[in-house]
Amino acid sequence: MRIISANVNGIRSAYKKGFLDYMAQSGADIVCVQELKAQEADLADDMKNPHGMHGVWHCAQKRGYSGVAIYSKRTPDAVHIGLGLEQFDQEGRFVRADFGNLSVISLYLPSGTSAEERQAYKYKFLDAFYPILAELKASGRDVVVCGDWNIAHQNIDIKNWKGNQKNSGFLPEERAWIGKVIGELGWVDAWRTLYPEVAGYTWWSNRGQAYAKDVGWRIDYQMVTPQLAQAMQSAHVYKDVKFSDHAPLVVDYAYDL
């Protein structure tokens, strides 16, 4: 089973850059997408069901903003839209699809870079999401939470870690939260577990020559439950074509969907 997580920074823009073709040749069984920046009415048929895949999405109320989706070769047995928390659900940040005992989640965790108010909103989201992660972990299901978590966990996860310790996305409180998700709740960070010493950046600023110089951040994750982690085989960050300021994170599992 191959699962891809990709922040597309606007699905219509990504499609123009070849994301649809990439999905077709990627061999993915499931593709989790974040930052659709589109309403359902804006989605063309090939954006709703690309190459015959089944699509589910959670769009933000605000036009041209946020939004998440899951595309799968197999039709889900059940779909859960949103967290059930209005202050977060209006921004379209969570969608879950169930396939037998497997639950796949596409998550777009808030960024706090634009203003202090947004950082405060991010902390509220972290506080609300932690017990949800605890419930998912305790459910006995195989779960993978894919997406843009907007937090680089360790120094290895960010090129310029010394200069970013006071910036959103690498603040001590945010990093400690990710640490608790892994250390206390028992979630497994797929990339870092498979490749303990490989940076694995997935996002680069559009400023300067960040992408060309690989001055990146690893803020896109596939967090999995321990039982599913035993099925992890390999992973890679796809950089052959640039669809967005993020690159797709691809993980292969020895798991029958």
Q: Is 7 annotated as a binding residue?
A: yes
Q: Is 54 annotated as a binding residue?
A: no
C-alpha to C-alpha distance for 51 and 53, rounded to whole angstroms:
6
Beta-strand relationship, 78-81 and 68-72: unpaired
Determine whether the annotation assigns residue 164 to a binding site: no
Per-residue DSSP letters for 126-183?
HHHHHHHHHHHHHT-SEEEEEEE-----SGGGBTT-GGGTTSTTS-HHHHHHHHHHHH
Cβ atoms within 10 Å, residue 171: 18
Catalytic residue among 148, 157, 189, 220: 148
Please pick, among 108, 201, 221, 253, the residue that the annotation labels catalytic.
Answer: 108
The single-letter DSSP state of residue 75 is: P
Q: DSSP character for 89?
A: H
**Residue pair 126/151 in contact by the 8 Å Cβ criterion:** no
d(CA 225, CA 138): 9
Q: What does the alpha-carbon distance between residue 239 and residue 175 come to, in Å, rounded to a whole number?
A: 26
Q: Is 21 annotated as a binding residue?
A: no
Question: Exposed (0-12), middle (13-18) or buried (19+): which is 236, by Cβ within 10 Å?
Answer: middle
Q: For residue 29, indicate whether it is catalytic.
A: no
Known catalytic residue at 148 = yes
Tell me: is residue 245 an annotated ligand-binding position. yes
Residue of 88, 169, 146, 152 whose CA lies nearest to 121: 88
Tokens linked to 186:
């028992």
**236 part of the active site:** no
35 is an annotated ligand-binding site residue: yes
> Annotated binding residues for Mg(2+), as ranges?
7, 35, 148, 150, 245-246
Catalytic residues: 108, 148, 246
> Annotated binding residues, as ranges?
7, 35, 148, 150, 245-246
